[in-house]
Amino acid sequence: MHKDIATPARTREILEKYGFSFKKSLGQNFLIDTNILRRIVDHAELTETSAVIEIGPGIGALTEQLAKRSKKVMAFEIDQRLLPILEDTLSPYENVTIVHQDILKADVQSRIDEILKGFEDIMVVANLPYYVTTPIIMKLLEEKLPIRGIVGMLQKEVADRISAKPGTKEYGSLSIAVQYYTKAETVMIVPKTVFIPQPNVDSAVIRLTLRENPAVAVKDESFFFQVTRASFAQRRKTILNNLTSQLPGGKEKKEGIQAALKKAGIEETRRGETLSIEEFGALSDALYELFK
């Protein structure tokens, strides 16, 4: 048996062997705790017929655990310096394909068609680079990829915002954007001590399970998101103030906005963070004719 990659000693040995130095700009923090990695994989509920998409495999610590528990792993790695390391550390696993590409620029669907063709169950599992967590998650959801869900490790603060409920200070347009497409739950907290280099913040693992249909049916998706973003633009302001100041031509359309709020059954003095996703759906539909 070869030694697990994710032990402190083995990680240091690999980094020294290749003279690898961490790039702050890529948000590289490598996990050095095999138990935590296994627990992350547990939350993905993989079977021997599952395929996995991983983002930012690093030196292969999580990839190795995924390879043991699924049929195929396709991992996107942006850092060219890691390719020879991955080729070495993952040499025992024939079911891993590394794609040297920036996930944000990749045509993920065509990569799925090419590398994961025929798989019915595809899960995204990743220790996400902190500086691009939100754009990566939104890209995966907005492109309507054929995935069952996402299990991702990210900054605890971002995880809190994603899984937040109405009426909390964490709740905002990101909570709504993610919960529109998925059921979101924080499944574990990960201390900063299990990484090298240690990040400045604690991390959390979030599990997003795709909904068969969005959480709320709306006339126009992009307008719905525009309304939710506008509603949170200045958190201290009422929903009426935010909508009139943030939506194009809102000041001239104030009476129309007031009528739309009334139609949706929403008091104009409420703040954005008190509205449920259903209320935002009703509101964006009521405003739609006015702004389209």
Q: Do 32 and 62 meet the contact criterion of CB atoms below 8 Å apart?
A: no
Q: Do 235 and 246 meet the contact criterion of CB atoms below 8 Å apart?
A: no
Residue in this structure with the two tokens 């399970």, named with its chain if needed: 209
Choose among 80, 97, 176, 101: nearest CA to 134: 176
Instruction: Report in angstroms the alpha-carbon separations of 161 from 134, 177, 200, 216.
Output: 11, 11, 18, 19
Known binding residues: 29, 31, 56, 77, 102, 127
Q: Do 2 and 92 meet the contact criterion of CB atoms below 8 Å apart?
A: yes
- How far is Cα 88 from Cα 218, in angstroms, rounded to an integer? 49
124: β partners: 53, 150
Q: Which amino acid is at 131?
A: Y
Known binding residues for S-adenosyl-L-methionine: 29, 31, 56, 77, 102, 127
Class of residue 1 by CB neighbours under 10 A (exposed 0-12, middle 13-18, buried 19+):
exposed
Task: Please name the residues in contact with 144: beta carbons below 8 A apart, sequence gap of 6 or more.
Answer: none
Say which DSSP state 36 is in: H
Buried/exposed code over 39-68 (b: 16+ C-beta within 10 A; e: otherwise): ebbebbebeeebbbbbbbbbbbbbbbbbbe
